[in-house]
Amino acid sequence: MADPVQQDELLRTIRQVMSREKESSGVVSGEWLEPSAPTVHRAPPTTHHSPLTTHLTVLVAEDNEFNAELLEQLLGRRGHRVRVARNGREALVLTEIGAFDLLLLDIHMPELDGFQVVRAVRERERTTGGHLPVIALTARSRQEDREQCLAAGMDEFLAKPIQAADLWTKIEALLSSQQPQGQPKSPADQPKAGLLDPRALLAACGGDEVVLKNICRAFTAGAPAHLTSIESALDGGDAPLLREAAHKICGMIAAFSTEAGQVASNLEDEAAAGRLESCRPLVEQLVSLTRQLLPQLNGLSIEALRGGSR
């Protein structure tokens, strides 16, 4: 097992790689960060035009480093400004002091969960007026999960793994209508295609070669540390820590493999129920699948995912 990779080191590596690519393409250094708000990032825009007529200021409340980085890249490359909150309490504070057009809100976060955040936001709006559009982010795609999110005060529901096309559809539907009618993607819309799932990965990166390369690097760098955390939690008999570790890797690996993502999700459920003995074979299976998956990401390209040869 490789030595654990710290999350802050992982993100520094991703951004260093992205900065080198940006400089080599002629983008002036310094344009990546908004000068008036150092924690807001704007990635170089792609040649695709945004379906929205204006650029948005988006708050991404997501504690999973991989998903936060993916959303930053996808939104930034459409010209939107992004601010990331790493926990629910930080997200709630930012909604009070900042002016955002949209909140992408992960349901499972430390400090305050997504339900607590949105309820506090809606309670405040009863006094201050206004309405912040909120899209829930969750790995659960059941109808009852969607209904629970809407009942709590969210406006839309986006199932993980995050798929670029679904993200644009949800945002456009939400912001163009007072009563959005979008539906979460059903399992039938996410077919399996072997261990590496080209359709899931193409959907996650939006067919963008730069985003694909960066999320492959991020997963390759971060997965060993997540597996180490999972094995340590299991060996220590710490079910809550195991559930948290499984939740984190589930948000990453499901973008690459539907099969491995399901195993991680099952592991999270078993750990949440405290059934550690049931977790052991799932951990072994997840470790095996991840080790098989990682070499397949080397040199992966959009052409290869679409059926060409590497």
Is residue 108 domain-resident?
yes
Task: Give me the pLDDT at residue 15, please.
Answer: 55
Does 84 lie in the same domain as 183? yes
Q: Looking at 154, 189, 224, which one is the last position of a domain?
A: 189
Task: Give me the pLDDT at residue 185, please.
Answer: 36
Q: Looking at 189, 219, 246, which one is the last position of a domain?
A: 189
Cα distances from 32 to residues 76, 79, 147, 218, 241, in angstroms, run: 9, 11, 38, 19, 35
Strand bridging mode 134-138 / 81-85: unpaired
CATH number, domain at 269?
1.20.120
Is residue 14 domain-resident?
no
Does 77 lie in the same domain as 183? yes
Distant-in-sequence, close-in-space partners of 141: CB < 8 Å, separation ≥ 6: 159, 184, 185, 186, 187
Task: Give me the pLDDT at residue 172, please.
Answer: 86
Does 82 lie in the same domain as 40? yes
Domain span at residue 112 reads 32-189
CATH number, domain at 78?
3.40.50.2300
Neighbouring CB atoms inside 10 A of 95's CB total 23
- Cα torsion 104, 105, 107, 113 to 10°: value is 170
Does 242 lie in the same domain as 140? no
Distant-in-sequence, close-in-space partners of 183: CB < 8 Å, separation ≥ 6: 146
Split the chain (310 residues) into runs of 10 and give each run's mean pLDDT: 48 51 37 34 40 75 90 89 91 85 91 91 82 87 77 86 88 66 36 70 90 92 92 94 92 89 91 92 91 89 72
Task: Give me the pLDDT at residue 244, please.
Answer: 92
Q: In this structure, are residues 40 and 46 in contact, taking their beta carbons and an 8 Å threshold?
A: no
Number of domains in the chain: 2
